[in-house]
């Protein structure tokens, strides 16, 4: 595992802990808002981690799908756990679907474009988290939330995270192929 992939894995884990904290702080809010947050967290976690599993285990679709589903369901359940059981189920089912789709995406992605795909998926998860925070704290007087109400500030934060991701070492280093090792003959 490369350093970049380890950093992405840790940043993604931190991102979904933030989803959990949003639900913990707002578990007394509208049932629909909390369920939507669990669904968003479970789905984005499933897609992101399912894609990582699909890329790491390329060629073993069954194993990458199972791992993607298990990770997505676990994170979805974890995110929905502070609220009602129905919220936990919503997060789990969204994680199941996201893990399945992520594994397919990782399995089908072209070699050499893994970094772009993972950066895009991480950014989508981050943007959904920021929007979710704004949803719950629209009427809050907190300094951080007041700061996040300004669309320009949100755009700059997203841009900063994107530029930080661009500075990270590659997630999947391209190994040069030695042409002497791959002799393929059409006639057998």
- Residue 89, class by beta-carbon neighbours within 10 Å (0-12 exposed, 13-18 middle, 19+ buried)? middle
The tens digit of pLDDT for each residue in 22-68 reads 777 777 777 888 888 889 989 999 999 999 999 999 989 999 999 99
Give the domain ranges of the chain. Answer: 3-175
**Stretch 5-15: mean pLDDT, rounded?**
82
Say if residues 38 and 95 touch (Cβ distance below 8 Å).
Answer: no
Reference 82, options 24, 15, 146, 16; nearest CA is: 24
Token digits for 20? 């959990």
Q: b/e per residue, 51-61, with b = 16+ CB within 10 A?
A: bbbbbbbbeee
Of residues 155 and 105, more confidently modeled: 105
* Residue 180 to residue 184: CA distance in whole angstroms: 10
* Residue 13 to residue 120: CA distance in whole angstroms: 16
The tens digit of pLDDT for each residue in 109-152 reads 988 888 888 888 988 988 888 888 777 766 566 666 667 667 78
Could you tell me the pTM of the whole model? Answer: 0.80
Reference 103, options 63, 151, 150; nearest CA is: 63
* Residue 30 to residue 66: CA distance in whole angstroms: 33
Helix (H) or strand (E) holding 4: helix 3-25
């Amino acid at each position: 595992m490369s350093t970049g992939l380890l950093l992405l894995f840790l940043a993604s884990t931190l991102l979904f802990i933030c989803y959990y904290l949003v639900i913990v702080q707002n578990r007394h809010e509208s049932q629909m808002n909390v369920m939507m947050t669990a669904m968003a967290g479970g789905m984005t976690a499933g897609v992101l981690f399912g894609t990582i599993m699909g890329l790491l285990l390329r060629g073993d679709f069954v194993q990458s799908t199972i791992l993607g589903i298990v990770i997505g369901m676990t994170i979805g359940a974890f995110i929905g756990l502070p609220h009602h059981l129905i919220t936990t189920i919503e997060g789990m089912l969204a994680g199941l679907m996201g893990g399945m789709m992520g594994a397919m995406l990782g399995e089908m992605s072209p070699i050499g474009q893994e970094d772009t795909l993972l950066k895009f998926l991480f950014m989508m998860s981050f943007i959904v988290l920021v929007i979710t925070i704004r949803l719950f704290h629209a009427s809050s007087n907190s300094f951080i939330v007041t700061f996040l109400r300004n669309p320009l500030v949100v755009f700059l934060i997203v841009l900063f995270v994107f530029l930080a991701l661009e500075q990270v070492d590659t997630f999947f280093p391209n190994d040069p192929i030695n042409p002497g090792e791959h002799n393929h003959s059409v006639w057998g």
